[in-house]
Structure 1
Amino acid sequence: MPMEKRSDYGLAMPTIEMARHPDNRKLRVGVIGGGFGRTHLTAFQVCENVEVEAFCRRTRQSAENTAKEFQIPRVFTDYRELLELKGLDAVSIAAPVYLHYPIAMEAMDRGIHVLCEKPLALNKDEAAAMLLKAEEKKLAHMTAFNYRFVPALRRMKELLEEGYVGNRIYHVDGVWFGETRADLNAPLGWRYRREMAGFGALGDMGVHLIDLVRWLAGDFKKVCAHTAIFNRERKLPDGSGKGSVTVEDSCAFVAEMEGGAQASIHVSGAAR
């Protein structure tokens, strides 16, 4: 059994059981994507039961530099080649959103378990197909809602379930301002284009708040929302001019939860 830890306030802090291979060997994982992929690599390094077998990134030199830093034996610039590796147990997908669906579907067709960054897909149809595939193949599948594993938030959930703060929740409030997104000098990358990102501030940042609210207070019953694009243009990466931002950089909504609680959420990639 895992050891119980205590916070500075004397409260018991929940621990997490690590997944293990049935043969009691290390799980062999491949990581695809060099942005948040580096965060995944850092996390895998402290998992004693995980071995990162391969890393994939579009640029060969960047991929090799990262592989050297994290001591990863195999490097690829094409995710299809990584997925062909024999004995790969799971893949961690941290590529741009428009690649989530094709990578995950091919991985699951090969019997590989999937951890995928948020937002899960470009739209609900892709996300539903990914879920159906995982269920059909009986594979482990998860969106990277990592805040569920923050010890303080896990303890908060336990306290709520124990009735420590009462028998019901009346109001939940969430705010997330993305300072790096508000930098007007940042070029028009894939995150600002709907055909590649699917969503803007709501899917990129607000999805974490939505997940936590659902996890702590139950599902949404009614929602009234407003989105906006405040910064409508950004410079092109090659410096040749400006291009249009096609995803929202701000979203605010109020909601009624199934248990009767009120919720208000505000996320912004425009305000600091």
Structure 2
Amino acid sequence: MKTYRIGMIGLGGMAHSHIRWMAEEGRYEIAAVSDVNEKALAEKGDALGIAPGKRYADFVQLIADPDVDAVVSVTPNHIHAAIIRACLEAGKPFLAEKPFTRVFEEATALLAQYEPRPVPGMIGFSYRYTPAFRYARELVREGKLGTVRSFSIQYLQSWGSVLNDTPYIWRFDPEITGTGTLGDLGSHMIDLARFLFGEFKELSSQLRTLVPERRDPATGRMVKIEVDDFVSFQGLMSGDEAGIFQSSRNAVGSGNQHEVTIYGDDGTLHASTLDPERVVWTREEAPGRLARAVVDVPAQCKVTQYGDFLSLLDGGTPDGLPDFMDGYRNQEVLDAVIRASRERRTIGLPDSSDRKHG
């Protein structure tokens, strides 16, 4: 089977995980790398055995390299759109990190470019590959919970809390990140809801900045924070499932707590990253008697992100793969959350059923 030559853009902390995931699949070869940080480019280039001529300060040159079959982008938010645009122009398949773009206007421009000439693309909504979430989707699809009436999704982390005295970094700079917790963690909540239940019909929201200032490690000065570090919203999905969402990077004691509880007529299901290979299922054991069971996730729900990317590169259409249109629609919902909070009203989402892709 074909081994794909990957051009990797962005060599920071998350790149290490992506490199490991590719190695586990056995059909990827990193052929070129790109980063604006000269030191990182040299060190990672040496570690990966990349020839000097395949180390690019300019990602456009990497994308244009004929020895690169596909692109993996692991960069801050403000250059997501430019990288996807360059991949579309070159007709080169890509896996790009979420959120899709920094702001929705960038997403609409990309859609106009994509629709006349689609290019295989995958957006890094990696929690679609949490086995417990995959199993939850399977049980919902099979009707094992009966009619789903409501659900709750939360994604909590603690690294931004006051106790941690977290300094001012790029994730707090709106020119780089766009939003704070919303784009970082909230985009995963939105994707999980779409993965399980389909499209959003409407939503209302609130965005809050809980820690108003953070210290700039370079200058020692306090910097005003202009992005959210808490978001909550409620939404109505295409099947009239009502959902409640909350996310914070200031939740003391929560390391990486992303979870969903689904309430159906025939039972309740809970799935979480804290126990990724099991779900908690409450259902009627006998007339009038409920039983709560911890259920192991079956093997068919243990799919990997880079395994699906391989299938995409091979010309397949894996079920549940987060593609270009999933990225676009996610950004559309993110924009609705922002507008709903700013305007203090319920925002309706466009009907996406007429879209040709996704």
Q: TM-score, normalised by structure 1?
A: 0.84
Whether 2:19 is the aligned partner of 1:41: answer: yes
> In structure 1, the residue corresponding to 2:152 is in which secondary structure?
strand
- Give the aligned partner of residue 4 of structure 2: 27
- Runs of 5+ consecutive residues of structure 1 not aligned to the other structure: 1-23
User: Using a 3 Å threshold, how does the CA distance of structure 1 residues 134 and 44 change in structure 2: closer, same or farther?
Assistant: farther
Spell out the pairing of 1:121-132 with structure 2 (5 A cutoff): 121-132=101-112
Residue among 104, 107, 115 paired with 1:135: 115
Cα distance between partner residues in 1 of 2:21 and 2:181: 25
Whether 2:159 is the aligned partner of 1:180: answer: yes
| Counterpart code for 1:173 | S
> In structure 1, the residue corresponding to 2:247 is in which secondary structure?
strand
Spell out the pairing of 1:127-206 with structure 2 (5 A cutoff): 127-166=107-146, 168-182=147-161, 184-206=164-186
Deviations 1:9-66 (A, max 9, x none): xxxxxxxxxxxxxxx5212211111232222212111122221111222222222322
How far did residue 70 of structure 1 move?
A: 4.1
User: Using a 3 Å threshold, how does the CA distance of structure 1 residues 270 and 198 change in structure 2: closer, same or farther?
Assistant: same
What RMSD in Å do the two structures reach over aligned CA positions?
Answer: 1.9
How far did residue 232 of structure 1 move?
A: 1.4
Cα distance between partner residues in 2 of 1:218 and 1:253: 17
Contact 1:41-1:70 at 8 Å conserved across structures: no
Spell out the pairing of 1:108-127 with structure 2 (5 A cutoff): 108-127=88-107
Cα distance between partner residues in 2 of 1:247 and 1:65: 33
Task: State, as a whole percentage, how many aligned pairs show the same letter.
Answer: 28
How far did residue 71 of structure 1 move?
A: 4.3
How far did residue 248 of structure 1 move?
A: 0.5
Cα distance between partner residues in 1 of 2:217 and 2:154: 30
User: Using a 3 Å threshold, how does the CA distance of structure 1 residues 182 and 67 change in structure 2: closer, same or farther?
Assistant: farther
Residue among 13, 31, 39 paired with 1:53: 31
- Give the aligned partner of residue 257 of structure 1: 237
> In structure 2, the residue corresponding to 1:86 is in which secondary structure?
coil
How far did residue 119 of structure 1 move?
A: 0.9
User: Using a 3 Å threshold, how does the CA distance of structure 1 residues 138 and 257 change in structure 2: closer, same or farther?
Assistant: closer
Contact 1:91-1:115 at 8 Å conserved across structures: yes
User: Using a 3 Å threshold, how does the CA distance of structure 1 residues 43 and 134 change in structure 2: closer, same or farther?
Assistant: farther
Deviations 1:177-226 (A, max 9, x none): 12223365332222111111111101100111111111112222221211
> In structure 2, the residue corresponding to 1:137 is in which secondary structure?
coil
Contact 2:233-2:245 at 8 Å conserved across structures: yes
How far did residue 240 of structure 1 move?
A: 3.5
How far did residue 136 of structure 1 move?
A: 2.8
- Give the aligned partner of residue 209 of structure 1: 189
Count residues with an aligned counterpart.
248
- Runs of 5+ consecutive residues of structure 2 not aligned to the other structure: 253-358
Spell out the pairing of 1:261-272 with structure 2 (5 A cutoff): 261-272=241-252
Residue among 234, 244, 247 paired with 2:214: 234
Cα distance between partner residues in 1 of 2:114 and 2:45: 29
| Counterpart code for 1:175 | Q
> In structure 1, the residue corresponding to 2:148 is in which secondary structure?
coil
- Give the aligned partner of residue 15 of structure 1: none
Contact 1:29-1:54 at 8 Å conserved across structures: yes
Larger mean Cα displacement after TM superposition, 228-237 or 73-82: 73-82
How far did residue 92 of structure 1 move?
A: 1.3
Contact 1:201-1:269 at 8 Å conserved across structures: yes
Deviations 1:156-197 (A, max 9, x none): 21121111222x211211111122233653322221111111
Deviations 1:129-148 (A, max 9, x none): 22332333331112111111
> In structure 2, the residue corresponding to 1:164 is in which secondary structure?
coil
Contact 2:9-2:33 at 8 Å conserved across structures: yes
Spell out the pairing of 1:81-120 with structure 2 (5 A cutoff): 81-120=61-100
| Counterpart code for 1:65 | E
Contact 2:153-2:246 at 8 Å conserved across structures: yes
Larger mean Cα displacement after TM superposition, 88-97 or 63-72: 63-72
How far did residue 229 of structure 1 move?
A: 0.5
